[in-house]
Structures are given as C-alpha cells and as structure tokens.
C-alpha cells in the first residue's frame, strides 16, 4: 500500500483529546513529529467562532457527521440526533462551551473500576495543567494553561435570580463548581476567550501546528493497519478514493470520539467476534467491549413564561440577530460573545446520595438547544437531567464499508431507576422556579405544563420530550488488562495490540458529572505523558466538599 505520509505519532481526530495530544507530543524534547488525520475542514467563520451562534454548526452538514441514533422504544420511537464535530477541533467546535471537570468522586470511581492511576488525585494535576481559569484558586485551578475558561458575565438579572432561588430552596451557593465544592448554584464556566469560542483547535491545535513538527492530514480514517499484532499506520480515503497509508514510526492513537473511535477499531478487526462477523469483518483482536457501554446524559427543558420582557426570546427576530452578529464581528462583544448558559447548579436528588447527580443549565429564554421551537412571548428555562443513568447502549457496524454510518442505540431510560430519578429532577426544578426570587418574573409554566403532576404524567412528558445533552462516552472503556470487557489498559493502550492507543471520551468507564469537553481534554493531556513514558505529574491529595448529613437529608 502506498505510504502518503509518515510521522512518529499518527493521531486520528483533532478534537478535545486529539488536539491536546498533538500539542503535548510536539512540545516534548526529542523532536517527535505528529500527523493528525482529520476528516473535517476549517473552523474559520462566525458560525463556529461566535459563541452566540452555537445552535448553527451542530445542524450544518459541513461541520457535523450527521449521525442519528436508532429509534428509542422508551421514548415513543423517537430517533434522536447525535451531533459530532466533523471539523478541526472536533466536537469542541460545535458544543455548548460549558466547562465542567466532573466531580472528584467520578474519577475515584474510574480507579475503583480498574482504571488505576485515574483517581481524582491523579487527574487533578492534568486539569490544572490544561486550564487558564480567570481568577482561579491556584490550589484547585490552573491559571496559565492553553484552555481559557471564564465565568459567565450574568448581565441578565435572571441568571442571579436562578442562583438566589436555589439558595432560597435550601441549597448551597458555590463560587466555583470546578473547585472544592461542586454542589450548589453559581455561575457557569465557559470555554470562551475574548468573545470567541476557545475550542481545542484554538487552544491547542493551532499553536501545535506552528511548531513545524505537527501537520494536518485532511482525510477520512478507514482503519488501523495491523502487522504481526502491531499498529503500523492508518489507511485513509479522500472523498470516495482510498488513498493509502499514513505510517506511524512509533504509535497510532485514536482520538476520534465515542462514536468514531470504536468504529475505526471494529473496521480494523478489533472488537467482539460475533459483531464483526455479522458485518463481514474478520476478528484479528477479539475485544468484546468495543462499542459497548455507550452512555449519555438525557435532559428535559423545564420552561416558564416570564412576565417581564427581558429574555432572549425578544432577540430572536432577524433584525436583532443581525445586529448581534454585526456587533460581534466588529467588537467581539454583546449577545454574540456568550453561549447564554451563564448560571446553573449541581444538586443531589435524595437522601443517601453522597454527591450531586442532577445538573442544571439555566437559560434566560425558552427555546430548544438547537435553536428551534422558541416559545411565544418571553420565557426562561432550565435544562435538567440525571447525571448517572444506569442505562447502557451500543454502537454497531452496519456493514464492512468504513464510510457507512453506524447503528447507534443508546437504550435511553431502559433502567427503572432512570424514571424515578428523572421525575425527581423535574419536581425539584419546579420547586426552584417557585421560590420567592422568581416572584417578579414568573408566569405560567410552559413545559411540561402545570397540569402534568402524577408519575404517569411526567413519564409521558419524558418519553415525548427528553433530549440528548450530546455527551456520548464509554464505548472503548479503560480498565485492568485482564478485564475481558475493557478495551484499553490504564495507559490507554488497546489490549492485545502493540503501538495502538485510544484517548478520548470513549475510554470513560462511567460518564462524569456534567459536560464532557473538560474531562475529554484531560484524557488527552494525561495520555500524552503515558505515550512519552516520562512519568506522570505528581498526584495532589485534595478532598472535595461532601455535604454533611447526606445520609439523612437531601439538602
């Protein structure tokens, strides 16, 4: 096969983890060169760089793989869209720009499930290395890393009203949910810098490309080429033409995300033998966990009408959008310079839950995440959903063609506990909206609607209206080398193959609390040190705040 490019390290995917890896591998002493294979194109232009335009790129075939999940039996047969970034920066270029690390106990759970060396004490130094947090506490936060993080400016009064309502309901207020205390209400943090989306491409990839030892290969990765049990490169295609091999002198690292990394593995003959056989692919390396353990966050939009004309619904007409876009292009300020998710919260759903399992994103508008279905008049909403669903899905091949779309089945709400947790999340949101700080703003409930109160009513609403939060993960999970369901070992090496690793959200054993861009980037940072073999950053023992009396009370 023709060798079209060659490098020490060949990365597949330029998303959150892939860009971080390219940055750190190219920075290391030794002059290593890196080739990054990316199927998507440029991120130049306002649809991606303007934070306020976030609903556009995830609906544009130019930037999105266009995946759609299989119809979900428990969601009335609805097939939910699964947007994934097909552009430099990957999904960090089309996401909502909300920055959440996850709770410390999420990572302790990873370690307890076989990912030794991935407890919170181990990953905290990597979060700190990657962050450039405005006014961050240096004991807990990084302040000079590549990834700029800021708090929302909260110019609309409803942002603070939401925090005050949480406090009135008896919950704590937290100034930094990515610091010592996640539980509580406070400002949300954003990957925005100077009014621009601060994606992995802007934070990591562009600086790496300027070094001269990183190059971008614009192509579709088809499969990893294996010779005598070792990964020697990646076969690629441009358009419909299969071009050749990008050869790796040292290692191949898959960073293509929770959907595409397992697909590349399976098309390479690495996966469950029965699954591969059904697609007409020979199993070269049997790993039954590839494509399994698929997880996501499901959420609902709890919408309330607003009695004052101060919400985003007043800025959805063509003239207002044009004015906001013009201001952003000239000054990088105004409504275009924010993602509009500027306050939120993390709470526990009930007695006996030791750390938060419900997340809120508050928006001073009543509109779908994708920008569609705006409510008439003025309104506000909270996106809410359980963080640790027990439902598990699977990604499967639909044939042997690497260019074919996969079968994605999340099996949402397939565990009975999910229904109880989701109902509780809705009821707790209603309770927060009913607090006195909202008295001067609260009109009738728009969605679900005040008449829907019983368990049966809420279950019907969930089935009809719950949406993905676009946080897929877990499909090539990390674990002990002797775990038959693990795909990679604690150094991100694919078990049973030499010189092949996976580093992205697909390795998560269990989904973390909150949005996944942050922990995915951390995976890339930490994986780089595993690849380089130069030792890990010194663990830091910092105990997170856990609510006193959590065994006896919910708040």
Verify whether residue 415 is a known catalytic residue.
no
Quick one: which of 44, 459, 519 has its CA closest to 258? 519
Q: Do residues 537 and 172 make contact, with C-beta atoms less than 8 angstroms apart?
A: no
Quote the CA–CA distance of 100 and 517 in Å, as a whole number. 8
How deeply is 460 buried, as exposed, middle or buried, from its count of CB atoms within 10 A (0-12, 13-18, 19+)? middle
Residues in the chain, overall count: 555
153-176 burial by CB neighbour count: b if 16+ within 10 A, else e? ebebebbbbbbbbbbebebbebeb
Cα 6-7-12 angle, rounded to 5 deg? 95
Quick one: which of 460, 464, 442 has its CA closest to 452? 460
The Cβ of residue 456 has, within 10 Å, a number of other Cβ atoms equal to 9
Quick one: which of 311, 313, 267 has its CA closest to 290? 267
Which is catalytic among the residues 32, 335, 383, 471? 471
Quote the CA–CA distance of 397 and 408 in Å, as a whole number. 9
Take residue 513 and report the two structure tokens written for it: 């609390």
Chain position carrying tokens 């679900």: 448
Omega prior to 448 cis, within 30 of 0: yes
Cα-to-chain-centroid distance, residue 351: 28
Quote the CA–CA distance of 310 and 160 in Å, as a whole number. 14
Q: Do residues 470 and 95 make contact, with C-beta atoms less than 8 angstroms apart?
A: yes
Cα-to-chain-centroid distance, residue 166: 25
Which residues are catalytically annotated?
Answer: 471
């Amino acid at each position: 096969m023709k060798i079209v490019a060659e490098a020490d390290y060949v990365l597949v995917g330029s998303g959150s983890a892939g860009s971080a890896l390219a940055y750190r591998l190219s920075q290391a002493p030794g002059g290593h060169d890196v080739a990054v294979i990316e199927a998507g194109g440029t991120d130049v232009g306002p649809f991606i760089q303007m934070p306020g335009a976030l609903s556009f790129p995830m609906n544009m075939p130019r930037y999105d793989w266009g995946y759609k999940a299989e119809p979900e039996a428990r969601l009335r047969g609805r097939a939910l869209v699964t947007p994934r970034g097909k552009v430099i920066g990957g999904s960090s270029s089309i996401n909502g720009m909300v920055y959440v690390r996850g709770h410390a106990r999420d990572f302790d759970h990873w370690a307890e499930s076989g990912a030794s060396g991935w407890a919170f004490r181990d990953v905290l130094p990597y979060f700190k290395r990657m962050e450039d947090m405005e006014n961050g506490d240096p004991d807990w936060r990084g302040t000079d890393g590549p990834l700029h993080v800021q708090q929302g400016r909260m110019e609309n009064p409803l942002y603070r009203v939401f925090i005050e309502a949480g406090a009135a309901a008896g919950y704590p207020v937290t100034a930094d949910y990515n610091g010592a205390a996640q539980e509580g209400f406070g400002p949300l943090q954003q990957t925005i810098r100077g009014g621009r989306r601060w994606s992995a491409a802007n934070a990591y990839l562009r600086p790496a490309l300027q070094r001269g030892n990183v190059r971008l290969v614009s192509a579709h990765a088809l499969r990893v080429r294996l010779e005598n049990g070792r990964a020697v490169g990646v076969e690629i295609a441009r358009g419909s033409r299969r071009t050749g091999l990008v050869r790796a002198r040292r290692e191949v690292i898959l960073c293509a995300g929770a959907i595409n990394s397992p697909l590349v593995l399976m098309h390479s003959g690495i996966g469950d033998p029965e699954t591969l056989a059904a697609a007409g692919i020979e199993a070269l390396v049997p790993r039954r966990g590839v494509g399994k353990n698929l997880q996501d966050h499901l959420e609902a939009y709890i919408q309330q009408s607003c009695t004052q004309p101060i919400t985003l619904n007043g800025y959805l007409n063509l003239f207002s959008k044009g004015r906001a876009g013009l201001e952003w292009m000239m000054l990088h300020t105004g409504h275009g310079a924010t993602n509009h998710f500027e306050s939120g919260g993390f709470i526990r759903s009930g007695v006996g839950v030791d750390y938060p399992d419900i997340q809120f994103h508050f928006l001073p508008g009543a509109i779908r995440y994708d920008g569609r279905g705006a409510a008439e008049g003025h309104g506000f909403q909270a996106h809410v959903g359980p963080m640790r669903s027990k439902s598990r899905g699977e990604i499967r091949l639909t044939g042997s063609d690497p260019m074919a779309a996969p079968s994605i089945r999340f099996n949402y709400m397939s565990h009975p506990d999910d229904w109880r947790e989701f109902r509780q999340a809705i009821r707790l949101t209603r309770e927060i909206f009913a607090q006195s700080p909202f008295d001067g703003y609260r009109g009738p409930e728009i969605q679900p609607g005040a008449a829907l109160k019983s368990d049966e009513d809420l279950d019907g609403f969930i089935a009809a209206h719950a949406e993905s939060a676009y946080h897929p993960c877990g499909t090539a999970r990390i674990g002990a080398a002797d775990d038959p369901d693990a795909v990679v070992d604690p150094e991100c090496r694919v078990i049973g193959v030499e010189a092949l690793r996976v580093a992205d959200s697909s390795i998560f054993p269990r989904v973390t609390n909150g949005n996944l861009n942050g922990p995915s980037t951390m995976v890339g940072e930490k994986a780089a040190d595993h690849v380089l073999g130069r030792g890990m950053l010194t663990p830091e023992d910092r105990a997170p705040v856990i609510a006193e009396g959590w065994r006896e009370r919910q708040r």
